[in-house]
Amino acid sequence: MDLSPRNSSTAELGGVAGPLRGIFLKILSVCCFVVMATMLKAADTIPAGEMVFFRSFFALVPVLAFLALRGRLSTAFKTSRPFGHVLRGLIGVCSMALGFFALTRLPLPEATAIGYASPLVIVILSAILLHERVYIFRWTTVIIGLVGVVIILWPRLTIFSGEAGADSAETIGALAALGAAILSAFAMLQVRKLVQTERTETIVTYFFVSASVLSLVTLPFGWVMPTPELAALLIGAGFFGGLGQLLLTSCYRYADMSVIAPFEYVSLLLTIIIGYLLFSDVPTITMIIGAIIIVASGIAVILRERWLGLDRRRAKEASTP
């Protein structure tokens, strides 16, 4: 989601400075989101709904401060589609709750890798629900990517084999992570509808506000009073989540999405390192193989779209007198 000025252009910076700055900001945003996930995993005794509240409420601090500095705070709450924002918030809250629950049950890199299924699901939903035309290359990469997801999930899905431990924490966590990825895809489809009439800062602000309010519904289901250490982790997770959002939205001022998007997968390397050093999580062979397949399919789509975009640009330039 872009909070940058609408008339900004990568061409304004010239040369390679713009793309390099965009890549740098993207990597910083990835680092912030990894820090956020690490803090939430370290606070794994906190209920998922309570995590969602802290993640959403304290993310508003850097976001609203940024909008105030840019003189755009007054427009952030103007909307003609309040119920659309509530729906997006409801889906997002469910997705976050499942994702945060998965963090408490799975190794950090495994939960991260399963989350990469979300863009694959978006392609499928776009074809089914939005009737977008999806060509054979993209369908092929989606199928290959889903094979990678199955490879990661398979060792955890003992529930289908009837083996002992079918109700294990890892099995439930894997299913929760997959559910989070699917709901995240639905949330992105709702965002696509909102961007047709709503400002980006409005979508971002209303999401965090609605998520903060909706997460309070989980209060009767076992919220706990966090210790000072846990409270610091939860508040920090929210702050870094909001900061990561700002960096993510800013990076697209300086480079095309096709240039920046592949650096999302830096998070897998970071989570493997952090998971090992802080939580003694050792990635399994199946997790590594599945993650490589998912990442490769995602990068293939990104590169394909970039090549097609360059071809269209050349064709347009050639046809211009």
- Confidence at residue 160, expressed as pLDDT on a 0 to 100 scale: 52
Examine the pLDDT at 258 and tell me if it is beyond 60: yes
290's CB contacts (< 8 A; 6+ apart) are 113, 148, 149, 150, 151, 152, 153
pLDDT at res. 14: 45
Which tens digits make up the pLDDT trace of 71-107?
Answer: 888 888 888 888 999 999 999 999 999 999 999 999 9
Higher pLDDT residue, 257 or 165?
Answer: 257
What does each C-alpha distance from 198 to 33, 41, 81, 108, 311 come to in angstroms?
Answer: 25, 34, 8, 35, 31
pLDDT at 233 over 80: yes
Could you report the per-residue pLDDT of 113-167, keeping only the tens digit for each? 999 998 889 888 888 888 888 888 889 999 999 999 999 988 877 655 555 444 5
What's the sign of the alpha-carbon dihedral 133, 304, 92, 153? positive
For 2-17, the pLDDT digits (tens) are: 454 344 444 444 445 6
Q: Which residues contact 35 (CB under 8 A, 6 or more apart)?
A: 236, 237, 240
> What's the pTM value of the predicted model, to 2 decimals?
0.84
pLDDT at 162: 52
User: Residue 13 has what pLDDT?
Assistant: 42
Q: Would you state the pLDDT for residue 123? A: 86
Question: Has residue 316 got a pLDDT over 80?
Answer: no
Q: Looking at the predicted structure, is the pLDDT value of residue 53 above 90?
A: yes
The mean pLDDT of 255-259, rounded to a whole number, is 72
User: Which of 2-6, 88-92, 272-276, 310-314 is predicted least confidently?
Assistant: 2-6
**pLDDT tens digits along 179-220:** 999 999 999 888 888 888 888 888 889 999 999 999 999 999
Q: With 80 as the cut, is the pLDDT of residue 221 above it?
A: yes
CA distance 156 to 150: 10
Say yes or no to pLDDT of 42 above 90. yes
